Amino acid sequence: MERLALLSSLAVATCLAGCASAPRRDAGRRGTRVEDARFVRLGGLDQWVTIRGDDDRNPVLLLLHGGPGDAQSSLVSTYAPYERDFVLVQWDQRGAGRTFGRHGVDTPDLTLERVARDGIELTGYLRRRFRGNAIILLGHSWGTAIATAMVRARPELYAAYVGTGQIASWAESVQAQFEFLEARARKTGDAGMLAQLEAIGRPDPADARQYFAFTRPLRRFLGAADTAWLAGLPDLVRRSGGGEQALKSLADGMELSGRAFLPIQMRTRLSSDALQFRVPYYVIQGRDDLFTPTLPAMAYLERIDAPRKRMIVIEGAGHFALVTHAPAFIAALETMLRPGDPR
């Protein structure tokens, strides 16, 4: 997770982040609505990109979906609240969503490094199209690993990094999930689950089969917001305009991407390998996130060296806070990007 930067780019990024809540274009010109959806050539591959916002002078919010493969660009109404203050860009990464629909199982180069380079190419496209607008990089879940690689490689391109469902490391998440389930088993008197966990003793983060076996009960303990989101997602995708085909592309893309990226996910250790940032570093986390637990993300933030850093935790929210608690998430985002934020 490489980077290049100069001290001057640090000052530029800090300034842009401070100005990000205000329009970046000529104040004398009325902003125009942006609605665009097309395939863009990235890394030699046509990839689906949507751009939507009420005012084309607003900061660009480049959202990197998680999953892997959990493309969200079709969920227009879900993400509409972000369009008032940002030009929202969603990108179906290679192996995901409509990009998967075009290229299928023959999608090449499903690696973290290749997807990060695709994202940097997309950033160049956005900089040419929205000249003068700050670009804020927002990664969700697995998207935080991709966004981290992008912002460390080319910090001068971005006003700020924002993570949600923030990854620290696979090993830390595995341990936190194990401890959570152990505590729940004791509290609820679930002798069967407790016996299974005690037989493991300490989980081996390199043992994928063991991991998927012991975390099977995890979804039973999700908060109400995440439970409702996951239950309603299939119908939401169907109603997005693509029907069953859209749902199939999403599911098939997640299967392909999941197989390709699992070994990479298991090796990911941002909390030891990605500590230096040349842009402001922010995290907005649901308190009850069980997929990427909040405590490891907090510990990771403490170790980060960045011009500014801050975490805001949303109570009652989980892994999908950016959609289940959109008003609170947007308020947190704007608080972080507000000029004069001391942290």
What average pLDDT score do residues 103-127 get?
Answer: 97
Long-range contacts of 100-103 (CB under 8 A, 24+ apart): 100/69, 100/71, 100/249, 100/252, 100/253, 100/256, 100/257, 101/245, 101/249, 101/253, 102/39, 102/46, 102/48, 103/45, 103/46
As given in the structure block, the two tokens for residue 187 are 């509290």
Concatenated DSSP letters of 98-134: HHHHHHGGG----SHHHHHHHHHHHHHHHHHHSTT--
Handedness of CA 89, 329, 132, 3 (dihedral sign): negative
Contact 319, 289 (CB under 8 A): yes
Distance separating alpha carbons of residues 212 and 343, to the nearest angstrom? 38
Contact 65, 20 (CB under 8 A): no
- Decide if pLDDT at 11 tops 90: no
- Residues 20-51 have pLDDT tens digits of 333 344 455 678 999 999 999 999 999 999 99
Pick the CATH number of 7-169+222-337 from 3.40.50.9100, 3.40.50.1820, 3.40.720.10, 3.20.20.140: 3.40.50.1820
As given in the structure block, the two tokens for residue 23 are 């329009």
Given the structure tokens 């303990």, which residue do they identify? 221
| pLDDT value, residue 209 | 96
As given in the structure block, the two tokens for residue 320 are 């999908």
As given in the structure block, the two tokens for residue 95 are 């192996």
Distance separating alpha carbons of residues 95 and 77, to the nearest angstrom? 24
Domain boundaries, the chain: 7-169+222-337, 172-221
The average confidence (pLDDT) of the chain is 90
Distance separating alpha carbons of residues 227 and 291, to the nearest angstrom? 12
- Decide if pLDDT at 270 tops 50: yes
What average pLDDT score do residues 288-311 get?
Answer: 97
Contact 58, 85 (CB under 8 A): yes
| pLDDT value, residue 245 | 87
As given in the structure block, the two tokens for residue 289 are 């996130």
| pLDDT value, residue 28 | 53
54-79 in b/e burial notation, b at 16+ Cβ within 10 A? Answer: bbbbbbbbbbbbbbbbbbbbbbbebb
- Decide if pLDDT at 150 tops 60: yes
| Beta-strand runs (E) in the chain | 34-42, 45-53, 60-64, 87-92, 135-140, 160-164, 281-286, 309-314
| pLDDT value, residue 1 | 34
pLDDT band at 106 (very low <50, low <70, confident <90, very high): very high
- Decide if pLDDT at 251 tops 90: yes
Query: How many C-beta atoms lie closer than 10 Å to residue 182's C-beta?
Result: 17
| pLDDT value, residue 222 | 96
Distance separating alpha carbons of residues 85 and 54, to the nearest angstrom? 7
What average pLDDT score do residues 176-197 get?
Answer: 96
Distance separating alpha carbons of residues 69 and 250, to the nearest angstrom? 7
Distance separating alpha carbons of residues 9 and 302, to the nearest angstrom? 23
What average pLDDT score do residues 135-140 get?
Answer: 98
Distance separating alpha carbons of residues 260 and 258, to the nearest angstrom? 6
Percent of the chain with pLDDT over 90: 85
Long-range contacts of 193-201 (CB under 8 A, 24+ apart): 193/217
| pLDDT value, residue 22 | 38
